[in-house]
Amino acid sequence: MTLVDIGRRAQGGRIGDSPTRPDGRAKVDGTFRFASDLPMDGAAWGATLRSPHPYARLVAINIAPALAIPGVHVVLTAADVPGRPTYGLITADQPVFADGFVRFVGEAIAAVAADHPETCRRALAAIDVTYEILDPLIDAEAAIAGDTPPIHPDGNVLRAQHIRYGDPTATGAVVVEGTYQIGMQDQAFLGLEAALAVPDADGAGVELHVATQWLHEDRKQVSACLGLEEARVRLVLGGVGGAFGAREDISLQVHTCLLALALGRPVRMHYSRAESFLGHVHRHPASIWMRHHATPDGAIVKIEARFVLDGGAYASTSSAVLLNAITHTQGPYRCPNAVVEGYVARTNHLPCGAMRGFGVVQACFAHESQMDRLAAACGVDPLAIRVRNAIATGDPMITGQILESVAPVVRCIREAEALALPPPADPDEPLARPGGAGLTADPQHVYRGVGWGVSMKNLMYSEGFDDYSTARCRLVAVDGGARVTLKFATSEVGQGFVTIAAQIARTILGVDDVELDRIDTGIGSAGSTSASRQTWMSGGAVDAACRAVREDVVNAVGGRLGIDPLRLVVDGADLVDSMGDYREPVAVALGDITFDRTVEYHHRPTEELDEDGQGNCHTAFAFAAHRAVVDVDTELGLVKVVQVATAQDVGRALNPLSVIGQIEGGIAQGLGLAVMEEIVQIDGKIRNASFTDYLLPTTVDMPPVVAALVEEPDPQAPLGAKGVGEPPCISVTPAIAAAIRDALRQADGNSTRADRITRVPVRPSDITAT
Amino acid sequence: MSEQYRLHVNGVDHDVADAWLGENLLYVLRERLGLYGAKGACEQGECGSCTVLVDGELVCACLVLAASAIAQPIVTVEGLGESGARPTDVQQAFVDAGAVQCGFCTPGLVMAAHDLLARNADPTPTEINEELAGNICRCTGYGRIVEAVQRVAVSRRSERRP
């Protein structure tokens, strides 16, 4: 249920319409080919041997028993890596295969290729590894304190970064503080890691079909590890079954290529679900202390904070996640003074990196929990405290950077507030109670709580990264019509960039027939499908390429007809002289000329932070407000989220139906973090690497979403549109936690239990603890 | 231990030759018969991505031994509609309603939605939620999927009226 009017135009949709996905038909009839659906004659199967220990010295590896099994073709270990022995997105600190030590449960030790997946499993079991088991480092605080020996040559602190802004001695009359914990969340995309590597006939190159978020970054890292020039490694996007950050890092890419090159045959690799939990990075678990100082009427005077993130065994994007976390300490609120300490530690836990929200999810749970405490301390309601402090365009942030983005924070709050609350619980529908089909909840113990969360999220890459995307637009007349062909390397992971790319081209060029070329490394980089950046960045590149072609068209037509090209505009499907009589279809105006332009779009440069955490490190921001209504059985600790209302700052909705899809899907993931999802590690070993034990929201867990799109086009965005992928999943988590606290206060008549809800996911035992 | 057996899939007999008898139906459909519509995402019957019909029963193909499914009609997502020429009303509604994002869960959900609407032409929202709870989608948050099912129920109802 949404309040958004989803403009509908199935075919030929322009910007602002909601045409259906070009890959929709293939996805519903089963013919769409995911990276796992790529058979090839003569292909062997690959598989990975992984460490069962969180920390151990590798004493010996004997592969001979595996090679003796009929059907096993090859077994590779660290000695067989011809190029750089390590990889990593920011720091290449993770071995392709463990060499000397294993540092987390799941670290790759060897890879095999065989004739059948079952033969692979037997081969892995036959490899004889001798470990000297070491005490794992599993306490991030101990890692930061430096009183444990380094578990990696690069040390046990992945990054320390502080922020000092304004007057560190400032104090407020009202002071509230708390320590908040966020559990490790898994992206849990449905389409497991999968790839097909095809070696070149001469053995000096390879083509890799893979589900990834960033083809060119993969190519850079893969070619380095293979010891090949980048030109000898070609990547093609295999169909991607979701990503959410977990496909930004290398998983099976290098292993699949190594096996294929060693074997001289195509190799397919697929992870199982259990292996997927080990084989990709996760959301950082975090412990965050915050202390807010405010005036008696609730104006924030200063925020003090200390962030400790557990980065796990290898660096991945930990340093950038920490930057995001600490620079969002204030949330969408003004803050004149701040003292923030931030650390991300290396431990023998599963490596952490990108997941939707990227550090801001953790910060937001803490700052929104604090805003509710501040409201209570000042005796005002939760919305009043947020409106009182709402940041606006032109305000400075605690990095000293001026917020230049459109910032409709108050409007998001007011529009979400205006959305209708759900009807009271239906006494005749026991399935709708907390506990659902278990029919365990006693209606007399069920209280309905309401909670709020508001967020601010940076868009695109930060800290000086030259972030860009590339697109090619070709326009030709064919069979009496005009056809646009777009090419880009933008990973379509489900978000629908393929839909809006065509909408942009149709709008700029007035041509209905838009064809999308294969997504591969046959064009320049598009950057990563992450950081809510592709609508802005690759949308900007497609827009710029189409505009370049349009300029060439009006110059050619203007020259031919003697009309000033500045007077020629595209109107619908026609080219028109805006000051004269000329009008003809674009297809006719083209004649037999082919127009072909490739354009790179860069966003404005950003800076690294200095040692006081000052600098213009971010590009742009988007905002969202969430209201959660939750029924809680306060005796049993059961929770049923009844409704989530949201108003989101989207700039401009290029495709309202796709925006709603991002909003509802993001809310489901934020709900999962609030009450269901957590990777549990005990003594460094994961205990729930399956969908039986790692609980994901299903249809019965997901409430109706009511949404309002706040459309204030951002003049800095090429199409006025902000990224919409991450904001939906950020402030919904604290909103649900706040609603649980509200229900507990109603049940208890005091805040004792409510104030103890400082950790997500909120477990039944957290609610019932007395 | 390998043997030859025959599966009846989407109205066609397929001989499965020289296959290890330990293979599950999902693997055989995909890797031996080339029917990649059913997807594997959990291998333990939790996610529903591999949902197919065996003898009219909705099952997770990852939990069925392929060799045990002989002599029973098997229907996969490829077998819906008029031999692939046109999408079914459910398939079309999934596309139109925005129920498809990455699409990995989609074949399983399409199978489950067909089965639900065949047994219950007029499901309540609670019934839709309960019936589809065996199919995990990580992209959509289910809102557009439920909307697609409701659209089909409405349009089938209006077609039934004289």
Number of domains in chain B: 2
Judge whether A244 and A187 are in contact, CB under 8 Å: yes
Grouping H, G, I as helix, E, B as strand and the rest as coil, residue A47 is strand
Judge whether A77 and A109 are in contact, CB under 8 Å: yes
pTM higher than 0.95, yes or no?
yes
Tell whether A695 lies on the interface with B, counting CB pairs under 8 A.
no
CA distance linking residue A340 with residue A345, whole number of Å: 16
Which residue on chain A is closest to B124 by alpha carbon? A429
Judge whether A484 and A474 are in contact, CB under 8 Å: yes
- B65 and B94 both lie in a single domain: no
Mean pLDDT of B130-142: 98
In CATH, what number is assigned to the domain containing residue B104? 1.10.150.120
Query: Among A417-421, B66-70, B83-87, whose mean pLDDT is lowest?
Result: B83-87
Residue ranges of alpha helices (H) inside A379-464 are 382-389, 409-417
B98 domain-assigned: yes
What pLDDT digit, counting tens, does each position of A250-301 carry?
A: 999 999 999 999 999 999 999 999 999 999 999 999 999 999 999 999 999 9
Which residue on chain B is closest to A37 by alpha carbon? B36
| Beta pairing partners, B65 | B24
The beta-carbon neighbor of A28 closest among B87, B130, B144 is B87
- B52 and B102 both lie in a single domain: no
Please give the structure tokens belonging to residue A561.
């007809």
Tell whether A4 lies on the interface with B, counting CB pairs under 8 A.
no
Mean pLDDT of A85-102: 97
The beta-carbon neighbor of B46 closest among A23, A658, A692 is A692
CA distance linking residue A312 with residue A88, whole number of Å: 13
CA distance linking residue A204 with residue A233, whole number of Å: 9
Chain A nearest CA to B70, separation (Å): 22
Distance in angstroms between the alpha carbons of the first and the last residue of chain A: 38
CA distance linking residue B99 with residue A496, whole number of Å: 12
The beta-carbon neighbor of B133 closest among A190, A239, A698 is A698
Report the sign of the C-alpha dihedral through residues A562, A564, A565, A567, in that order: negative
Q: Are strands A286-294 and A267-270 parallel, antiparallel or unpaired?
A: unpaired
B74 domain-assigned: yes
Tell whether B69 lies on the interface with A, counting CB pairs under 8 A.
no
Helix or strand (DSSP H, E) at B59? strand B57-60
Q: Looking at residue A6, what is its pLDDT?
A: 52
Instruction: Determine whether the interchain pair A30/B30 forms a contact, defined as Cβ–Cβ distance below 8 Å.
Output: no
- B109 and B67 both lie in a single domain: no
Helix or strand (DSSP H, E) at A226? helix A215-226
Strands (E), A634-769: 638-649, 681-682, 685-686, 705-710, 759-760
What pLDDT digit, counting tens, does each position of A448-469 carry?
A: 999 999 999 999 999 999 999 9
B24 domain-assigned: yes
The full set of domains in chain A, from first to last, is 24-32+468-602 (3.30.365.10), 398-458+620-770 (3.30.365.10)
CA distance linking residue A56 with residue A264, whole number of Å: 33
- B28 and B67 both lie in a single domain: yes
A128-133 sheet: strands from edge to edge: A101-102, A56-62, A128-133
- B7 and B74 both lie in a single domain: yes
- B35 and B62 both lie in a single domain: yes
Please give the structure tokens belonging to residue A293.
């100082």
Vertex B17 angle, CA B12 and B21, to 5°: 105
What pLDDT digit, counting tens, does each position of B36-51 carry?
A: 999 999 999 999 999 9
Q: How far does Cα A124 stand from its chain's mean position?
A: 32
CA distance linking residue A763 with residue A742, whole number of Å: 16
Residue-by-residue DSSP string for A483-530? EEEEEE----SSS-HHHHHHHHHHHHH--SEEEE---BSSS-----S-
| Beta pairing partners, A441 | none
Q: Looking at residue A1, what is its pLDDT?
A: 37
Mean pLDDT of B80-104: 91
B84 pLDDT more than 70: no
Q: Looking at residue A374, what is its pLDDT?
A: 98
Instruction: Determine whether the interchain pair A664/B35 forms a contact, defined as Cβ–Cβ distance below 8 Å.
Output: no
Tell whether A661 lies on the interface with B, counting CB pairs under 8 A.
yes
Residue type, A592: D
Mean pLDDT of A297-318: 98
B21 domain-assigned: yes
ipTM above 0.90, yes or no: yes
Residue ranges of alpha helices (H) inside A379-445 are 382-389, 409-417
Mean pLDDT over all residues of chain A?
A: 96
What pLDDT digit, counting tens, does each position of A654-712 carry?
A: 999 999 999 999 999 999 999 999 999 999 999 999 999 999 999 999 999 999 999 99
Q: What is the domain extent for residue B95?
A: 89-160
Q: Are strands B57-60 and B12-20 parallel, antiparallel or unpaired?
A: unpaired
CA distance linking residue B43 with residue A690, whole number of Å: 9
Instruction: Determine whether the interchain pair B137/A661 forms a contact, defined as Cβ–Cβ distance below 8 Å.
Output: no
Judge whether A319 and A214 are in contact, CB under 8 Å: no
Tell whether B35 lies on the interface with A, counting CB pairs under 8 A.
yes
Chain B nearest CA to A757, separation (Å): 25
The beta-carbon neighbor of A30 closest among B27, B41, B78 is B78
- B135 and B74 both lie in a single domain: no
Please name the residues between 594 and 633 in chain A that touch chain B, using a CB distance below 8 Å.
Answer: none
The beta-carbon neighbor of A24 closest among B95, B105, B134 is B95
Q: Looking at residue A172, what is its pLDDT?
A: 98
Judge whether A469 and A526 are in contact, CB under 8 Å: yes
Judge whether B52 and B61 are in contact, CB under 8 Å: yes
Chain A nearest CA to B91, separation (Å): 5
Closest CA to A192 of A540, A526, A689, A642: A689
Q: How many CB atoms lie within 10 A of CB A252?
A: 28
Vertex A463 angle, CA A461 and A466, to 5°: 60
CA distances, B120 to each of A82, A578, A700, B25, B128 (Å): 60, 58, 18, 27, 10
What pLDDT digit, counting tens, does each position of A39-59 carry?
A: 999 999 999 999 999 999 999
Tell whether A242 lies on the interface with B, counting CB pairs under 8 A.
yes
- B118 and B62 both lie in a single domain: no
* Length, in residues, of chain B: 162
Q: Indicate the residue among B78, B108, B140 that finishes a domain.
A: B78
Q: Indicate the residue among B54, B78, B102 that finishes a domain.
A: B78
Q: Are strands A194-199 and A206-210 parallel, antiparallel or unpaired?
A: antiparallel
- B70 and B7 both lie in a single domain: yes
Q: Indicate the residue among B12, B43, B78 that finishes a domain.
A: B78
Q: Looking at residue A430, what is its pLDDT?
A: 87
Instruction: Determine whether the interchain pair B98/A32 forms a contact, defined as Cβ–Cβ distance below 8 Å.
Output: no
Q: Looking at residue B161, what is its pLDDT?
A: 74
In CATH, what number is assigned to the domain containing residue B53? 3.10.20.30
What is the DSSP code (8-state) at residue A684? T
Going by C-beta distance under 8 Å and a sequence separation of 6 or more, which residues neighbour residue A640?
A432, A433, A434, A435, A436, A630, A631, A632, A703
B84 domain-assigned: no
Helix or strand (DSSP H, E) at A733? helix A732-748
- B74 and B102 both lie in a single domain: no
Mean pLDDT of A480-506: 96
pLDDT band of residue A573 (cuts 50, 70, 90) is confident
CA distance linking residue A283 with residue A245, whole number of Å: 9
Going by C-beta distance under 8 Å and a sequence separation of 6 or more, which residues neighbour residue B96?
A10, A20, B148, B151
| Beta pairing partners, A309 | A286, A344
Instruction: Determine whether the interchain pair B98/A18 forms a contact, defined as Cβ–Cβ distance below 8 Å.
Output: yes
Please give the structure tokens belonging to residue B47.
């996610």
Judge whether A119 and A72 are in contact, CB under 8 Å: yes
* Percentage with pLDDT > 90 across chain A: 94
CA distances, B31 to each of A496, A592, B37 (Å): 29, 47, 11
Q: Are strands B2-9 and A759-760 parallel, antiparallel or unpaired?
A: unpaired
Residue type, A513: D
pLDDT band of residue A3 (cuts 50, 70, 90) is very low
CA distance linking residue A462 with residue B139, whole number of Å: 26
Instruction: Determine whether the interchain pair A696/B140 forms a contact, defined as Cβ–Cβ distance below 8 Å.
Output: no
CA distance linking residue A204 with residue A625, whole number of Å: 53
- B12 and B65 both lie in a single domain: yes
pLDDT band of residue A2 (cuts 50, 70, 90) is very low
Judge whether A252 and A322 are in contact, CB under 8 Å: no
Q: Looking at residue A256, what is its pLDDT?
A: 98
Instruction: Determine whether the interchain pair A700/B37 forms a contact, defined as Cβ–Cβ distance below 8 Å.
Output: no
Q: Looking at residue B2, what is its pLDDT?
A: 63
* Percentage with pLDDT > 70 across chain B: 97
pLDDT band of residue B159 (cuts 50, 70, 90) is confident
Q: Are strands A286-294 and A300-310 parallel, antiparallel or unpaired?
A: antiparallel
A-chain CB neighbours of B112 within 8 Å are: none
CA distances, A85 to each of A95, A227, B157 (Å): 6, 10, 63
Instruction: Determine whether the interchain pair B133/A188 forms a contact, defined as Cβ–Cβ distance below 8 Å.
Output: no
Q: Looking at residue A733, what is its pLDDT?
A: 98
- B106 and B46 both lie in a single domain: no
Judge whether B83 and B140 are in contact, CB under 8 Å: no
Which residue on chain A is closest to B52 by alpha carbon? A30
Q: Looking at residue B144, what is its pLDDT?
A: 98
Most A CBs within 10 Å: which of B139, B146, B147, B149, as the mutation test of the A interface? B139
CA distances, A126 to each of A46, A72, A119, A257, B22 (Å): 15, 11, 10, 23, 20
B13 domain-assigned: yes
B83 domain-assigned: no
Mean pLDDT of B109-124: 97
B-chain CB neighbours of A28 within 8 Å are: 77, 87, 91-92, 94-95, 100, 103, 106-107, 110
Tell whether A704 lies on the interface with B, counting CB pairs under 8 A.
yes
B155 domain-assigned: yes
Which residue on chain B is closest to A40 by alpha carbon? B31
A8 pLDDT more than 80: no
Tell whether B93 lies on the interface with A, counting CB pairs under 8 A.
no
B162 pLDDT more than 90: no
Judge whether A624 and A649 are in contact, CB under 8 Å: yes
Please give the structure tokens belonging to residue A613.
């955490």
Judge whether B57 and B143 are in contact, CB under 8 Å: no
A-chain CB neighbours of B77 within 8 Å are: 28-30
Strands (E), A15-85: 44-50, 56-62, 72-76
Q: Looking at residue A429, what is its pLDDT?
A: 86
- What values do phi and psi take at A524, rounded to 5? -65, 170
Q: What is the dihedral of CA A676, A678, A682, A688, to 10 degrees?
A: 80
What pLDDT digit, counting tens, does each position of A354-372 carry?
A: 999 999 999 999 999 999 9
Q: Looking at residue A438, what is its pLDDT?
A: 84
* Length, in residues, of chain A: 770
Chain B nearest CA to A511, separation (Å): 22
What pLDDT digit, counting tens, does each position of A587-615 carry?
A: 899 988 999 999 999 999 999 999 999 99
Instruction: Determine whether the interchain pair A39/B27 forms a contact, defined as Cβ–Cβ distance below 8 Å.
Output: no
pLDDT band of residue A439 (cuts 50, 70, 90) is confident
Tell whether B135 lies on the interface with A, counting CB pairs under 8 A.
yes
Residue type, B27: Y
Going by C-beta distance under 8 Å and a sequence separation of 6 or more, which residues neighbour residue A728?
A624, A646, A648, A662, A663, A664, A665, A666, A667, A670
